[in-house]
Structure 1
């Protein structure tokens, strides 16, 4: 299953808060890709690294790849077709799904290795 993907230009951070924490205003005002997930256990935020400066419990140095969608909800295996080659290459990920597509974050130092694994699996990086 060949798919096209792109790399978002900025570096990202993943932050964790207690579930009842109020959303930081800088995160809400941040342009570009931001993901907020609140569960009964936690509030997780993915945002540009510069926006996360000063937040508690932050893991920085992530790069994001966007799978080119949109995809219908009954299409299966798209995310797996990206995650399987990354798992074989021993690359840890943080995945975020939206209504239209998926984003896969990898640590910056693993980006080149991730790109090689995805290209080897038959995926195409837009712009190459």
Structure 2
């Protein structure tokens, strides 16, 4: 796996679940990531902790790590490598991808261990200190 440049984004993130068919909330985070995914079984929202939709079931306390992109669609194994490196360090993760790049969320309490594992694997990690 080639060396990746990863940025730890500021602030706390949350992963929230809304009921199937719930209206998609209009979330505005110009300096942060917001992801809304709807399936027949649920509507999931990843957003800064302060923007969690009312009435959602929430898993809070996440920190967002973003692989510097854009990444070519032909690249393979990025999430697999990051997941393997973090799993070896005992760090649970939640991943998502966008058109340009990949993102990994880790619990705030595990951020230091996650950053150490990624650096030990040869990746550049900025914004964690």
TM-score (norm 2): 0.91
* Structure 1 CA distance for aligned equivalents of residues 50 and 118 of structure 2: 28
- Paired residues of 1:19 and 1:41 also in contact (CA < 8 A): yes
How far did residue 29 of structure 1 move? 2.4
Unpaired runs of 5+ residues, structure 1, are: none
* Cα distance, 1:2–1:106 mapped onto 2, change above 3 Å: same
Q: Are 1:21 and 2:22 matched, yes or no?
A: yes
For residues 49-64 of structure 1, the aligned pairs below 5 Å read: 49-52=49-52, 54-64=54-64
Partner of 2:9: 8
Between the two proteins, the alignment pairs up a number of residues equal to 126
* Structure 1 CA distance for aligned equivalents of residues 85 and 108 of structure 2: 17
- What RMSD in Å do the two structures reach over aligned CA positions? 1.5
Q: Are 1:108 and 2:108 matched, yes or no?
A: yes
Please state whether the residue corresponding to 1:73 is helix, strand or coil.
coil
TM-score (norm 1): 0.91
- Paired residues of 1:15 and 1:55 also in contact (CA < 8 A): no
* Structure 2 CA distance for aligned equivalents of residues 44 and 86 of structure 1: 23
* Structure 2 CA distance for aligned equivalents of residues 35 and 91 of structure 1: 22
How far did residue 53 of structure 1 move? 6.8
* Structure 1 CA distance for aligned equivalents of residues 90 and 126 of structure 2: 24
Identify, as 1 or 2, the structure richer in helix: 1
